[in-house]
Amino acid sequence: MKRNDERYALISVYDKTGIVALAKYLHDLNYKIISTGGTAKVLTENNIPVIPIQNITGNPESFDGRMKTISFQIESGILFDRQNPTHIKEAHTLHIKPIDIVVCNLYPFEETIKNSHTSLETAIENIDVGGSTMLRAAAKNFQNVLVVTDPKDYESLKSALKQKGITQKFRKELAAKAFALISFYDSQIAAYLNTDLFPGTLTLPSRKLLDLRYGENPHQLASVYQRPNTKSFLNALKKNGGLDLSLINVTDINAGLESVRLFSEPAAVVIKHNTPCGIALGKTLQEALKRAIEADPQSAFGGVIVLNKPLDLKTAKVIASFKTEKKGNIDIVASPSMTDDALELLKKTRKNMGLYSFGKIHPVPSTMNMKWVDGGFIMQTADCDIEDGFKDWKCVTKAKPTKKQLAMMRIGWKFISRMKSNTIVVMDKNIPMTRGIGCGQTSRVGAAHIALNQSEKFAKGAILVSDSFFPFDDSVKLAAKYKIAAIVQQGGSVNDRASIDAANRSSIPMVFTGRRAFWH
C-alpha cells in the first residue's frame, strides 16, 4: 500500500524569528502546515494557510495551553516508519497524517529563571512539555522526519528542499541538535528544581561560546563552553587587538581575575601558567601594576596582566616602559575596559599583544566549582568566604603582630588563596605587594627557600605567608635567618609546638588562621 501523497509540516515555535518566511516557502512547496496557538495566529496574519492543531487532534487546546500537541494523532504522524509497510497500512487505517517536517523551539525556561525574583509558579509554567515530546519523536524518526529547532537552520532546510538534497548526514545533524536542545533544556530544569548540594545524578548544561586558537599546545584543538545564566567574564569578553586566545590564555585570564576580584581597591596581577608571579594593590591602577611587575620582572616576561579597574593611558605606559626598559614582552592584557589612547599605545608597543576587555567584575560567586579527573569530575563548594575566616585567626606567639602587619597578613592571605597549592609568599613590609613567591612546590621548606631567595633584600622586616601548616620548624628557622618580621600560617600540625618555639626564640609574631588556602 502506498503512503498518502499529502505532505505535512508541523510548526510550533516560541521564538518566531524567520518563521513566516520558512512557512511561506513550505507552503509554496505544497506542504500543508499544521500549527498551534500563537504560531498559527502569526502565520494566518501573514496569509499563510494553516490547519489548526485541534483539527488534527480532535481536541481543543486546553488547560491554558498545557494541552495542545500531545495526542495520538500528532505523535503517530511523526513516529510511524515510512519504510515499514505495516506502519504505512496502520497509519492509513487510523487516518494518521504523515508529518514529514517538525519545526519547533521551546518555552524560554532559561530566560525566565535568569531573573532571581522569578517565582516557582512562573518557572513551572515555562517548562515546555508538548514541544519536547514532538522534538524527541521527530529526532528518533529522523530517517523519515526532518526536525528543525534553530532558526539559523531554516536557510539550510530551504536550500536542501529546493535541491532535493536531503541527505542522511543532514537528517542526523538536525536530529542531534534536537536531542542536544532537549538535554540542555531538561538539565536546566533539573538544576533549578534540585535542592541537594551533591545530587545523585548530575548533568551540566553548556553551550559553545568560542573556538580557541589552540589548546594547551599548538597541536591541540580547543573550544570554550559556558553554562547558562552565569556571571562570567566570558559573557562580555571582547578582543581589542592582537592574537586570538589559546586555552592557556583563557585560563590565565581566569586565574588573574580570581586574584584581583577579591579587592575593591586597584589591583593588578601578572599571571604565568595559571598562577601569579607578582600581585599588588595600589592607590591607583598605575601604581598597582608597576608593583606587580616589579615583584618579579623576570617571570613577568611573556605573562598575562589582569586588572580590576579600567585600563587608562597612565597604566598602559607602565606596560610600554616594561617593553622598552626591560625588553619584557607581555602576551595578554585584560581589564574591565580600555581607553582609546591606552589601546593606541599598547598596539604600538607590541603588535601581537592580545588586548581584551571583559566588562564589569562580579563578586566572588558563592557557588560550586569543578575539577576534571579521568572519566569525570569532582564538584566542590567554592572557597569564597575568605574574609569571614579572619575572625578565627589566633596569635600563638609571645610577640604580637602590629596592626600594619596584621593588615598585610590579611592581604597576603587573599593573595595566596589564588596561587597553586604548597605556596609560600613573602609580602613587602610596607607595601601591599608580593616580594617573593614559592609556588606549587612539593616541599614547604623548598617553597620557603624560593620565596625568600626571590625577595632578597626585601625579606628583612617582611611578612611570610604559608597556605598550609608547617610540618616542621625548618621554615620558621629559615624565615628567621632572612629576618622575616611576622608569619601567618594555617596551624594544625603535630609539630606546631616546635614552630611556635622557633618563632618565640626569634621574637617573630606568628598567627594561625585555622584554615587552609589550597588552590589546585
Q: Are residues 353 and 399 in the same domain?
A: no
Classify 228 in phi/psi space as left (phi over 0), alpha (psi -120 to 50) or beta.
beta
Spatial distance between the Cα atoms of 350 and 4, rounded to a whole number of angstroms: 68
Q: Are residues 185 and 240 in the same domain?
A: no
Name the residue range of residue 341's domain.
Answer: 211-226+234-357
When pLDDT is cut at 50, 70 and 90, the band that residue 1 belongs to is very low
Does a structural domain hold residue 289? yes
Residue partners of 442: CB distance under 8 A and separation at least 6 = 422
Listed residue (364, 392, 402) closest to 263, CA to CA: 364
Q: Final residue of a domain: which of 334, 357, 380?
A: 357
What is the pLDDT at residue 264? Answer: 95
Confirm if 498 and 473 have CB atoms less than 8 A apart. yes
Mean pLDDT value of segment 182-209: 94
Q: What's the CATH code of the domain at 20? A: 3.40.50.1380
Confirm if 105 and 15 have CB atoms less than 8 A apart. yes
Taking only the tens place, the pLDDT of each residue in 387-443 is 999 999 999 999 999 999 999 999 999 999 999 999 999 999 999 999 999 999 999
When pLDDT is cut at 50, 70 and 90, the band that residue 77 belongs to is very high
Q: Are residues 217 and 342 in the same domain?
A: yes
Mean pLDDT value of segment 302-327: 96
DSSP SS3 for 199: coil
Q: Are residues 282 and 152 in the same domain?
A: no
Q: Are residues 399 and 316 in the same domain?
A: no
Residue partners of 92: CB distance under 8 A and separation at least 6 = 1, 3, 4
Q: Is the pLDDT of residue 44 over 80?
A: yes
Spatial distance between the Cα atoms of 479 and 382, rounded to a whole number of angstroms: 31
Q: Are residues 78 and 172 in the same domain?
A: yes
Does a structural domain hold residue 2? no
| Residues 392-401: b if buried by 16+ CB within 10 A, e if exposed | ebeebbeeeb
Q: Are residues 50 and 164 in the same domain?
A: yes
When pLDDT is cut at 50, 70 and 90, the band that residue 335 belongs to is very high
Listed residue (451, 506, 441, 442) closest to 473, CA to CA: 506
Q: Is the pLDDT of residue 254 over 50?
A: yes
Q: What's the CATH code of the domain at 451? A: 3.40.140.20
Does a structural domain hold residue 368? no
Q: Is the pLDDT of residue 2 over 50?
A: no
Taking only the tens place, the pLDDT of each residue in 138-168 is 999 999 999 999 999 999 999 999 888 799 9
Q: Hey, which residues does 267 pair with through a beta bridge?
A: 281
Residue listed under C-alpha cell 570554550: 224
Does a structural domain hold residue 363? no
Does a structural domain hold residue 365? no
Mean pLDDT value of segment 350-355: 96
Spatial distance between the Cα atoms of 347 and 337, rounded to a whole number of angstroms: 15
Active-site annotation holds for 520: no
Q: Is the pLDDT of residue 364 over 90?
A: no
% residues pLDDT > 90 (the chain) = 90
Does a structural domain hold residue 519? no
Q: Are residues 472 and 431 in the same domain?
A: yes
Spatial distance between the Cα atoms of 221 and 156, rounded to a whole number of angstroms: 27
Q: Is the pLDDT of residue 188 over 80?
A: yes
> How many domains, in total, are found in the chain?
3
**Given the residues 32, 92, 273, 323, the one annotated as active site:** 273
What is the pLDDT at residue 3? Answer: 45
Q: Is the pLDDT of residue 333 over 50?
A: yes
Does a structural domain hold residue 404? yes
Q: Is the pLDDT of residue 102 over 80?
A: yes
The continuous run of DSSP H or E covering 49 comes out as: none
Q: Are residues 38 and 166 in the same domain?
A: yes
Residue partners of 501: CB distance under 8 A and separation at least 6 = 473
**Given the residues 24, 92, 140, 314, the one annotated as active site:** 140
Q: Final residue of a domain: which of 309, 341, 357?
A: 357
Q: Are residues 415 and 317 in the same domain?
A: no
> Which three cell numbers, joined as nine digits, stand for 194?
534540585
Mean pLDDT value of segment 284-297: 97
Confirm if 103 and 148 have CB atoms less than 8 A apart. yes
Mean pLDDT value of segment 245-259: 96
When pLDDT is cut at 50, 70 and 90, the band that residue 5 belongs to is confident
Active-site annotation holds for 140: yes
Q: Is the pLDDT of residue 205 over 70?
A: yes
Spatial distance between the Cα atoms of 206 and 119, rounded to a whole number of angstroms: 24
When pLDDT is cut at 50, 70 and 90, the band that residue 121 belongs to is very high
Alpha-carbon torsion, ordered 377, 380, 386, 390, to 10 deg: -130
Does a structural domain hold residue 330? yes
What is the pLDDT at residue 367? Answer: 79
Mean pLDDT value of segment 324-333: 92
Q: Hey, which residues does 338 pair with through a beta bridge?
A: 311
Mean pLDDT value of segment 199-209: 92
Q: Are residues 109 and 166 in the same domain?
A: yes
Taking only the tens place, the pLDDT of each residue in 48-69 is 999 999 999 999 888 888 888 8
Q: Are residues 20 and 102 in the same domain?
A: yes
